[in-house]
Structure 1
Amino acid sequence: MTIIRQGSLFDLQDLYDLEPTHRFEAVFSTIHIDPILAVVSKKALYGAPVQLNYAAMIYSLVARIIERIPTTKDLIKRLKHDYMFRLDCGFLLSDPIPSEASYSRMLTKLAESDVLERIQETQILQAIIEGFVTDDTIAIDATHIEARDQAPAKEEKPKPEPKKRGRKSKEEQENWLQEQAEREAALPIFEKTIEAQLDTTLEELRSSVPMVPKWGIKKNSEGKNVFWFGYKGHFAVGTKSQYILQSLFSSGNLNDGKAAIPLLKGIHERLSILPISYSTLDAGYDYPAIYEQIYRIGAHSVIAYNKKNESELEGFDKHFAPTCVREHSYRYDSYDSRYETLKYTRPKECKDCPLAEDTLCQKVYKVKITTDLRRYCAPARGSKAWKTIYKQRSAVERVIAYLKEFFQLNNVRYRTGKRAKVHFDFTHLVYNGAKLACDRLTQLISNKQMINAA
């Protein structure tokens, strides 16, 4: 299944079937590299003259992902022996081939800057302006990324001191609560509860993301725990266009839910021209703070509910629809956006019920979603419309699969988290660039067909 919209005349496989020169030109044209050149180029006129072609080096890193070249060493070898590839990347025959150290120094400069994130936003804004991104629904999910380094040996944790038995005095209890509050306030933002992110700025959130490789845990398809050492990639994807709208790179032990609010704030603040109506996420993101953030940006939550050992509410079914006295569920009818109210109507089973006219069995039931954003959403949980939107969440899983299979997302070759993030950002940039190139070629073919038909 392709990652391009249905009915497309040109998909990623067609892009890869093009001649390398045309393929590279199509993707290179979607990436504005001037800001990168401003970061990596020499700043002063003094000192030894620069003999490196930085623009060609940047394009060669893009080509490395497109061509699935595993390492920088292999990229240099390809540049030395494949003259057409060398010219396609922008090197002149008279240009010296950069060494691994030269590439390393350039990547270090990029790791200390947010320039790749700014180019990603410029790229997606260009796709929106050209009319290729018209999504009203986004899907968010995370994936594990293994580090190449060997995991360190697990440290033995010191045994905690045995707790004192007996009840604390009032003074001891107050001191303990004060210590807990001070300890919580001193924690980094991503070690606090998710609620702490609601009133934190996007810049502070993104600059505080932990990026040190750590042990992570996830459940496989058989429900068993699988451990890995490395990182996580978090993505917010347009479910229709399947462009990456926002991404986040973190340590492998970061809870998926703690990356949702930075992604949502990024879309709201940096892609404000894209109106988002729905956000769909799996049960791993079922936290009240995430519902609150989605509500604040003017969208609706379509998130799988995680019971978390909660008891069922009396008078309501498993989807929180009210039930009649005979425990038949009311039917979701509509949503009134003006009053933010869900409307339920009497169950079909109550048509011939002798209690239908009783005051205990009301005909219409209304509830405001702000009563409990986690339980009440529009469309209502369990409704056909809710299920239809939730199925669109598979778009982000499909994008992650393509990133790993075709764009080397899992091929992190760097020891530090900042350098690994550069690889992650290039992967994001090249994927969206390939999507935009395909959409432009599709539009060009469609226009030619319309002209020929006329």
Structure 2
Amino acid sequence: MTIIRQPSLFGIQELFDMEPTQKYEAIISAVDLDSMYHQVAKKSRLGAPEELNYAAMIISTFVRYIERIPTMKDLIKRLHDDLAFKLNCGFLVSDHVPSESSYSRLITKLEESDILEKEQEKVVLQAIAEGFITDDTVAIDATHFEARDQAQPKEEKPKSEPQKRGRKSKDERDGWLKEQAETEANLPLYDRKIVAQLDVPLAELRAEVPQDPKWGVKKNSEGQNVFWFGYKGHLAVGTSSQYILQALFSSGSLNDGKAAIPLLKGIQERLHLPLRYQTMDAGYDYEPIYEQVHRMGQQSVIAYNKRNEGEIIGYDKHFAPTCFREHSYRYDSFDPKYETLKYTRPKECSDCPLANEGICQKVYKVKITSDLRRYTAPARGSQAWKNIFKRRTAVERVNAYLKEFFQLNNVRYRTGKRAKIHFDMVTLIYNASK
């Protein structure tokens, strides 16, 4: 049966201007509440009977994010004071309003399962099936949010003995290299180099993500370091639909680049979208990330981060070849069969006296596999590359939506596992609202 995509009857702003009953139904109908209820409800008829309306509790937890109710205590107070709100959340008039402890036990049951991640994937797959996600470009970025508690004071480490000065002998160096390799192999997955993630299964990558609140640092627009104690949310967003295709929750200290490969593998293994480009900022400029995108049969549009690299003779700042008089060759096209970039003679060569001397080539061809980091399709510096890179702002807009309208920066839990429930709820409600 052919699926015909219907035009949207209202935008997200009109959705939030609806009456509460219609609004809650429109958003929560996208989520499979039956599977969530089955996950948290009692599995056996034996034991004490449960008097709680778990289905209504789940709905009211979602509504807390929709209505921007800051705390669970405020939610319970409104359920006590507003009968219409209580009915809109699915409670009966005769139902007792659950206590904070009851809601806490509900969060514990959600924490012990991965039901929210599964529901997030279901919503995205449904949007793909119905034709709402037709993106060919994905933007990846991270956003930070603070933890509920302050950081614990640092423990003073004992001073290490000063190292022996001078060059090591060959035997000492070989022993030191062997010791370093053993130390690297015994480190946790996310403490190793990014290249170690390439051949690790997706399930293990997601299971090993550190989630405890830690100190994080990033540079602001003025180039100054900004510190915070808390977490990071890593998002892979469709640039035209602005759906969150994949999300990852981590400690604030995790390097942004170390979350890219789990997001990319999640898109490849779980969604099977016909994507062409993956765009990211300079914080993701690592060779293993380019390698992962290439394995997926897609192209990387990632800002270049120059790291103590000298000037390359015969090439410009975008790695395009230059002529004898240092004019840059123009990017012409990309041959996907041979993975080759084609550059043609610069305009300045039309009236150059050296043009007919056999010194300058008319055409240059470069295989992108010779250096995936420097050569991308379309080529760096071209107008096509710049136009695709501009789409990356979609993920920044989504980050702003989550913080301003869905309470991402209002974490009310103390541990990383519970803060992850908050993050999963926020991303799920955002996609359901879409």
> With structure 1 as the length reference, what TM-score do the two structures score?
0.93
CA distance in 2, matches of 1:418, 1:360: 64
Please tell me whether residue 371 in structure 1 is matched to residue 385 in structure 2: no
1:322 alignment counterpart:
321
Please tell me whether residue 265 in structure 1 is matched to residue 265 in structure 2: yes
- Match runs of 1:352-371 below 5 Å: 352-371=351-370
AA aligned to 2:408 is L
1:54 alignment counterpart:
54
- Match runs of 1:292-331 below 5 Å: 292-331=291-330
1:392 alignment counterpart:
391
AA aligned to 2:221 is S
How far does residue 376 in structure 1 lie from its aligned partner after superposition?
A: 0.3
CA distance in 2, matches of 1:88, 1:328: 68
Please tell me whether residue 180 in structure 1 is matched to residue 204 in structure 2: no
- Match runs of 1:5-404 below 5 Å: 10-272=10-272, 274-404=273-403
How far does residue 8 in structure 1 lie from its aligned partner after superposition?
A: 6.3
CA distance in 1, matches of 2:131, 2:343: 37
1:442 alignment counterpart:
none
In structure 2, the gaps of 5 or more residues are 1-6
CA distance in 2, matches of 1:371, 1:196: 21
AA aligned to 2:427 is H
Aligned length: 428
CA distance in 1, matches of 2:225, 2:313: 34
CA distance in 1, matches of 2:21, 2:8: 23
CA distance in 2, matches of 1:48, 1:290: 52
3-state secondary structure, aligned to 1:404:
helix
How far does residue 30 in structure 1 lie from its aligned partner after superposition?
A: 0.4
3-state secondary structure, aligned to 2:22:
helix
How far does residue 9 in structure 1 lie from its aligned partner after superposition?
A: 5.5
AA aligned to 1:283 is A
3-state secondary structure, aligned to 1:235:
strand
1:444 alignment counterpart:
none
AA aligned to 2:153 is A
How far does residue 172 in structure 1 lie from its aligned partner after superposition?
A: 2.8
3-state secondary structure, aligned to 1:47:
coil
3-state secondary structure, aligned to 1:248:
strand
1:426 alignment counterpart:
425
3-state secondary structure, aligned to 1:85:
helix
How far does residue 43 in structure 1 lie from its aligned partner after superposition?
A: 1.8
CA distance in 2, matches of 1:160, 1:429: 48
3-state secondary structure, aligned to 1:157:
coil
> With structure 2 as the length reference, what TM-score do the two structures score?
0.97
AA aligned to 1:187 is L
How far does residue 156 in structure 1 lie from its aligned partner after superposition?
A: 2.3
AA aligned to 2:265 is K
Runs (4 or more) in structure 1 with deviation over 6 Å come to none
AA aligned to 1:142 is A
Residues 378-418 of structure 1: CA deviation (Å, up to 9, x unaligned): 00000000000000000000000010000000011101101
3-state secondary structure, aligned to 2:139:
strand
2:3 alignment counterpart:
none
How far does residue 297 in structure 1 lie from its aligned partner after superposition?
A: 0.8
Residues 148-168 of structure 1: CA deviation (Å, up to 9, x unaligned): 111211232322210012443
AA aligned to 2:74 is D
3-state secondary structure, aligned to 1:215:
strand
How far does residue 85 in structure 1 lie from its aligned partner after superposition?
A: 1.1
Report which stretch shifted further, 313-322 or 39-48.
39-48
AA aligned to 2:73 is K
Residues 244-302 of structure 1: CA deviation (Å, up to 9, x unaligned): 00000000000000000000000000001x11100000000000000001111111000
3-state secondary structure, aligned to 1:22:
helix
3-state secondary structure, aligned to 2:246:
strand
CA distance in 2, matches of 1:263, 1:320: 28
AA aligned to 2:295 is R
Residues 210-244 of structure 1: CA deviation (Å, up to 9, x unaligned): 00000000111111101000000000000000000
Residues 326-376 of structure 1: CA deviation (Å, up to 9, x unaligned): 000000000111111100000000001111123320000001110100000
3-state secondary structure, aligned to 1:351:
helix
In structure 1, the gaps of 5 or more residues are 1-6, 436-454
CA distance in 1, matches of 2:127, 2:166: 64
CA distance in 2, matches of 1:318, 1:142: 27
How far does residue 71 in structure 1 lie from its aligned partner after superposition?
A: 0.6
3-state secondary structure, aligned to 2:364:
strand
Report which stretch shifted further, 119-128 or 11-20.
11-20
Q: Percent identity?
A: 70
AA aligned to 1:405 is E
RMSD: 1.1
AA aligned to 1:318 is K
3-state secondary structure, aligned to 2:356:
coil
How far does residue 46 in structure 1 lie from its aligned partner after superposition?
A: 1.3
AA aligned to 1:188 is P
CA distance in 2, matches of 1:161, 1:358: 65
